[in-house]
Amino acid sequence: MAYCLALMGSSYYLTTFYNWWLANRIYLICIYDPKLSK
């Protein structure tokens, strides 16, 4: 979970639409994939 939070924290500084979209995909994967939520 800390890994996911770190990714989302770093994504705050990304400004392009693609990076925003990618960050949202990572966020959803972290929430819904139990293997990555550990």
| Domains of the chain by residue range | 12-38
Task: Identify the CA nearest to 31 among candidates 4, 3, 2, 12.
Answer: 4
Two structure tokens written together for 27? 């966020």
Query: In this predicted model, what pLDDT tens digit does every residue of 21-38 receive, in sequence order?
Result: 777 887 788 778 767 555
Q: What is the pLDDT of residue 24?
A: 80
Q: Is the pTM of this model over 0.75?
A: no
